Chains A and B, each alone.
Chain A
Amino acid sequence: MMGTSDAVSLTLNVNGQRREVTTDPTRSLLDVLREDLQLTGTKYGCGEAQCGACSVLIEGKRVFSCRTAVSKAEGKTIVTIEGTAKPDKLHPVQQAFLDEGAYQCGFCTPGMIVAAVALLEQNPKPSDAEIVEAMNRNLCRCCTYPNILEAVRRACGREAEVKS
């Protein structure tokens, strides 16, 4: 980053692209994504790894980017909400959130979707208890939790089973 004497060059692999940044390596991954790479889909909600709005995938696992130094992400595969969909098709989790209207203000939605994508990567057919456990670190102040739960069920093909 300009204006600091201790800036270093880092190469990040974000959403399948190599991105070079010159920055203070102690800055958070969240800040670098938002300010340097203009990837503003990932949100600041608390800065204390308590709300999940800043969730991104590193090597397929959900991390809280507000508490991850950008240097720790170097050389690893980073996926943000912007890289979740294919060019012409939403990710099934995104499609399920859209179909269920699983948002109100939507500010938590990118983090919720990233957390759900990570969950379904590891456990393609989670039970309700497993969904709640995995998603419980993501906050939604509009409290759209029932619709989000429904969206995650839908994304893993469980909506018919639950509704019947």
Chain B
Amino acid sequence: MTPPHLDPNGTYDERFDVVEYHFTGEVPDPTRREFLQILGAGLLIAVSTGQALSQEPRGGRLGGGGGGRGATTIGARLHLGQDGTITVMTGKVECGQGARAELSQAAAEELRVPIATIRMVMADTSLVPDDGGTFGSRSTPSTVPAIRKGCAAARELLKNTAATRWEVDPSSLVVRDGVACHEASNRTLSYAELASDERASRAIASPSPDAELTTVASWKTLGTSAPRPNGRDIVTGVHAYPSDVTRPGLLHGKVLRRPSYNAKLLEVDLEPARAIEGVGVVRDGDFVGVTAPSRSLAEKALARIAENALWEKVDHPSSEDLGDYLRSHARGGVPVNPLAEDVRSAAKSLRQTYQVAYVQHAPMEPRAAVAEWQDGKLTVWTATQNPFAVRGEVARAFGLAEDHARVIIPDFGGGFGGKHSGECAVEAARLARASGKPVRLVWTRAEEFAWAQFRPAAVIDVEASLDVEGKLSSWYFVNINSGANEIQTPYRASKARAQFVASEPPLRHGSYRALATTANTFGRECFMDELAEAAGCDPLEFRLLHLEAGRLRDVLVKATRQFDWSSRSKRKEPGRGVGLACGIDKGSFVAACVEVAVDPQSSKITVEHVCQAYECGKILNPANLLNQVKGAIIMGLGPALREEMVFKGGKMLNASFARYRVPRFADVPRLDIHLIDRPDLPSAGAGETPLIAVAPAIANAVHAATGRRARTMPIRVPDA
């Protein structure tokens, strides 16, 4: 049976808090212009294809994943132009993870065309099939196969059409370089010629038949380091990110934010802002916003509103008391260990609590949207990992039929699991509706820190017992508030229980790269080191004693050999230590060894070396994978060492890059990355898992360096 994370048709969803706007005011649509269909540069599929999505047969789903229905016909997945252009369509987004290249590779491979021939249209809800959200590392296990199937079906159609035309057996034909070729008679048929074949057109619009996929051994494009197709537009500054989109008559918007969490608006005077020439003001319930011909004027107008607004503040917990707060608000209470009897009767037992702070994703591009109304229809360009869900969100906010809302997601400036929702798009649309002009709304960095979704904080209780041989006889693990991802231990224990308990979160929750697996791996891997010490065993030996042969053990062995764990872990040098950790997430496997230096005066932790082994099945794009793995490790250093949202009295106290310190060039340690390619195994998504092992490995190294156990993220050396 295929495990759920590798099942191309498997369902997967992520929870996140949506900001539900309920507009009550009159929202007239003042636009009276003709609706012009807006297409990306040079794209003509929407007007030329006969297989519009509305004509797609209902029912059935092919590789959607994450809630998407996918494409059931060849025509919903790709358009063959009579001029030879090949356009592939996907509901996935590109936000730096490399989907544009990888999905282009998938298409080129099965169509047997050079990758440069492929034009990839991503995440325009009027043009593409719903492939579900871009999260949960689903693009690789579900969308790559979906695109391969659609393109393989097109390739077989080319071959069969040629065979019919020439009255030859299809098996006598080969498809290469974009043509079906009958070598005996030296005849060829191209995809451009197929596009004008009537019978083929009908086949393209019908449910696509199963076609054989190209075997790994025959791959020419998949498995290679194909570069990002629009790299040149990135280095020249030409690529238009959501915050760069411009429209004729564009206005700039700003939205009034609460001065503290949950505060209620009592009184507000809009007149001082309205008095400014060129400024438009909207109030609709608690929503207050302004528009102006420039961002700075909108900011000034909003400041005039904010300085007079009266609010009723609401009590809100502080980050200092977070652990107690989450524990005391655990729904149904914190459960007691059902294995308590095993603990009592064991040779040795241990119990610890670990805590993980709230952190922000802080993508380089803050939330941004450009909204435009024409004839009662809304188009928004925005950044979200969830385009079809955001289409629903904006349609709901304005009472629109979904086909009256179009959401377009240009490749955007970072998501990391933080851009699942569409509040910025809704806000921009509300302002555009009022002003009768297209409106651009870009959240400030401070807004992004305070009002975007957070990675949930965690309190983790772990208790375990050892038998006389030093083996795990019982294991009990509770995660309060952050999530159940990979909560089950991969280590063998006579009895093991794990559970997630929701709390009453004080902040808005969302996903984050690797989600709660980071917290659960931190708690488990730190505790494994404490147990190893209790058992009088080396941390590596203790883990190997409890791990079956398999992929996790393989990466652990690989990382520790490359790092030379056996000799480096025995060196005793004051203020210097090594640590290790390993884990699983979303079907891939990681192990990390690190060396840290801890300053004896300041207790500052410097990560000097990270050696990581990673295995995600067959590697689809080695250079992109390496880039992702390095990026995930370095990004992971932030919440491991410094990142922590600090709040008090309902206010975020460190909502800036000056006070919330993310990793910079100077923080980059020496990196040794060992990617294990497994052509015999299906490919798993790899953007998240490489992040999870670095924090516990650092905490364990800090113990080796100082003799003191750090049990929080961010990791701080406790006082002696």
Contact = CB atoms under 8 A, between A and B. Distances in A.
Interface in B247-296: 252, 276-279, 292-296
Given A104-B98, A141-B416, A144-B627, A82 B364 contact: no
Contacts of A35: 252, 294-295
Contact of A31 (B244, B279, B295, B445): B295
A140 B624 CA distance: 16
A41 B365 contact: no
Nearest to A106: B234
Contacts of A132: 665-666, 668
A142 B94 CA distance: 13
Contacts of B338: none
B627 A104 contact: yes
B65 to A, nearest CB: 22
Nearest to A38: B246
Contacts of B239: 106
B237 interface: yes
B444 interface: yes
A48 interface: yes
Nearest to B413: A107
Contacts of A39: 237
A96 B170 CA distance: 46
Contacts of A110: 237
Interface residues of B, number: 64
A20 to B, nearest CB: 16
B681 to A, nearest CB: 25
A36 to B, nearest CB: 8
Which of A142, A146, A148 has the most chain B CB within a 10 Å cutoff? A142
A9 interface: no
Interface string B645-680: 000000000001110001111101001000000000
B428 to A, nearest CB: 16
B184 interface: no
Which of B98, B234, B292, B442 has the most chain A CB within a 10 Å cutoff? B234
B553 interface: no
Which of B240, B243, B296 has the most chain A CB within a 10 Å cutoff? B296
A158 interface: no
Given A40-B246, A104-B627, A31 B663 contact: no
Chain B binding surface, main DSSP class: loop
A142 B294 contact: no
Interface residues of A, number: 65
A106 B230 CA distance: 10
Contact of B668 (A23, A28, A41, A146): A146
B164 interface: no
Contact of B235 (A38, A80, A113): A113
Given A108-B364, A144-B631, A85 B236 contact: yes
A146 B296 CA distance: 36
B442 A41 contact: no
Interface string A133-147: 101101111111111
B192 to A, nearest CB: 30
A135 B657 contact: no
A90 interface: yes
Contacts of B97: 104
Interface string B611-646: 000000000000110011011111100000000000
A1 B293 contact: yes
A101 B658 contact: no
B57 interface: no
Contacts of A136: 664-666
Interface in A66-97: 80-82, 84-85, 90, 94-95, 97
A43 B411 contact: no
Contacts of A85: 236
Contact of A101 (B238, B244, B362, B627): B627
Contacts of A16: none
Contacts of B634: 143, 145-146
B96 interface: yes
Given A28-B296, A104-B627, A105-B411, A139 B657 contact: yes
B597 to A, nearest CB: 17
A3 B296 contact: no
A64 to B, nearest CB: 12
Contacts of A144: 627, 630-631
A55 B98 CA distance: 25
A28 to B, nearest CB: 7
Given A3-B277, A81-B236, A90-B235, A141 B662 contact: yes
Interface string A115-146: 00000000000000001110110111111111
B658 A3 contact: no
Nearest to A143: B634
Contacts of B98: 104
A79 B633 CA distance: 34
Given A38-B246, A50-B656, A136-B665, A143 B631 contact: yes
A50 B246 contact: no
A109 B442 contact: no
B414 A139 contact: no
A23 B292 CA distance: 14
B232 interface: yes
Contacts of B95: 105
Contact of A82 (B232, B236, B366): B236
Contacts of A164: none
Contacts of B414: 104-105, 107, 141-142
Given A40-B237, A107-B364, A132-B668, 19 more contacts: A31-B295, A31-B296, A35-B295, A40-B240, A42-B237, A43-B413, A44-B366, A44-B442, A48-B445, A51-B445, A98-B232, A101-B228, A109-B234, A132-B666, A139-B657, A140-B364, A141-B362, A146-B634, A147-B627
- Rank and list the top 8 A-B pairs by shortest CB-CB distance, nearest first: A41-B237, A3-B278, A107-B413, A105-B96, A104-B96, A81-B237, A143-B634, A106-B234
Interface of B: 95-98, 227-228, 231-232, 234-241, 243-244, 246, 252, 276-279, 292-297, 361-366, 411-414, 416, 442, 444-445, 623-624, 627-628, 630-635, 656-658, 662-666, 668, 671
19 contacts: A3-B276, A3-B293, A24-B294, A40-B246, A41-B238, A81-B237, A98-B231, A101-B227, A103-B231, A104-B97, A105-B96, A108-B413, A109-B235, A143-B630, A143-B634, A144-B627, A145-B663, A147-B627, A148-B665
